[in-house]
Amino acid sequence: MPSTMNNIAKQGDHGAAMMPVIQGVGRAAIEIAAVLRGAVFRGALGGAGSENVQGEQQQVLDVLSDEIFLEEMRSTGFICAVGSEEQEELLVIEEYTSADYLVLVDPLDGSSNLDVDGPVGTIFSVVKRKTANSERPHVSDTLQNGREVIAAGYVLYGPSLMLVCSVGEGVHGYTYNPNNARFEVSHPDMIVPETGGYYSVNESNKDAWADDMGNKLDGMKEKTGLGMRYVGAMVADMHRTILKGGVFLYPADDKNTTGKLRLLYEAIPMAFIMEHAGGKAMSSDGIAILDLEPEALHQRVPVYLGSETNVDALLG
Ligand code: AHG
Ligand code: MN
Ligand code: MN
């Protein structure tokens, strides 16, 4: 009998409480994967003709994934509000305004890969509200330090459908088995290798990087001899970094002066996973991503995630 996602309920202080939420993420993942597979036949590839709050062109599949994810969070009954990359404001779930938890989500990460059938993902984290349950959830409930995160993870839509998550006790990977329509434990206790792997970065921005990062990267390459891989979808690049080791970075540059990746629904969930897998997750100025104090729902930060030695070589 294969071990399924039910083992989450047995993990640590928050496992049982998070089980329905992670199951909801699993259902959303299955639905989003089906939509992605059939997108070309529905004419659902390409732009939605709208922009998100960050001025980025939304793809039809960004919007559909956001709707699916929100609906599955609503159906759990445990989520009072969702902060999404695709929604300017915090989205309050009117039926459950007194529920305990909020979810932050990047419903479709790496969506520029869609036109070339490349991997994409979903990134999420769960926090407990700070406002009283009798009050309406407020955006301030989302602005919590990463050390307060209760659960986080990602879905990878690749050759297989994977959900990797942590409820604070280890990082475990589940692969969807189409033969029984269940997520089964395939990667228990994921630990980032201390050496080896790859460096992963959009090196075409090198001349524009802040903090002398071009020279620091060259130094690290010389010292370690690491090869390079870059998918351009954070989920896929992080998943490889966790399994193989190395470092994934998106520094600040002339165009993205505070970095490109979003703190609450990209950097913090991935930092939570990286630290729980034994790796290191830093922003610039030697501050761990999980120690940053969020100021805004769609705030951006520089990120350096991976094997400790490689992250230190870049930031030391
Ligand atoms: P999203 O599709 O959610 O906007 O995220 C895209 C992000 C991330 O997935 C990836 O690491 C990065 O953008 C790639 O950026 P570049 O194309 O600038 O390399
Ligand atoms: Mn993203
Ligand atoms: Mn996205």
- The CATH number of the domain holding residue 298 is 3.40.190.80
Residue 192 lies in a domain: no
Query: Does the beta carbon of 202 lie inside 6 Å of ligand 1?
Result: yes
Q: Are residues 164 and 141 in the same domain?
A: yes
106 within ligand 1 shell (Cβ under 6 A): yes
Q: What is the pTM of this model?
A: 0.97
Ligand nearest to the CA of 249: 1
Query: Same domain, yes or no, for 91 and 129?
Result: yes
CATH number at residue 151: 3.30.540.10
- How far, in Å, are 70, 245, 248, 256 from residue 200 at the CA level? 31, 11, 5, 18
Burial class (CB in 10 A: 0-12, 13-18, 19+), 134: exposed
| 103 and 11 housed in the same domain | yes
Nearest-5° angle of CA 16, CA 281, CA 124? 40
Domain count for the chain: 2
Tell me if 111 CB under 6 Å of ligand 1: yes
233 touches ligand 1 (CB under 6 Å): yes
Same domain flag for 14 and 150:
yes
Distance 56 CA to ligand 3 centre (A): 10
Q: Are 170 and 205 contained in the same domain?
A: no
Is 109 touching ligand 1 by the criterion CB < 6 Å?
yes
**Same structural domain for residues 181 and 217?**
no
The pLDDT, as a whole number, for residue 2 is 62
Q: Whose CA is nearest to atom 16 of ligand 1?
A: 232
The reported pLDDT for the residue numbered 128 is 98
Instruction: Please name which of 279, 291, 307 lies closest in space to residue 144, comparing C-alpha atoms.
Output: 291
Ligand 1 atom at minimum distance from 54 CA: 4
| Distance between CA atoms of residues 95 and 137, nearest Å | 12
Measured from the alpha carbon of residue 238, the closest ligand is 1
Instruction: Give every residue of the chain whose pLDDT is below 70, as ranges.
Output: 1-2
Domain stops at, among 144, 167, 187: 187
Among protein residues, the one whose CA lies closest to atom 17 of ligand 1 = 232
Q: Which domain holds residue 151?
A: 5-187
Q: What's the 237 CA to ligand 2 centre distance in angstroms?
A: 11
Measured in Å, residue 60 CA sits from the centre of ligand 1 at 17
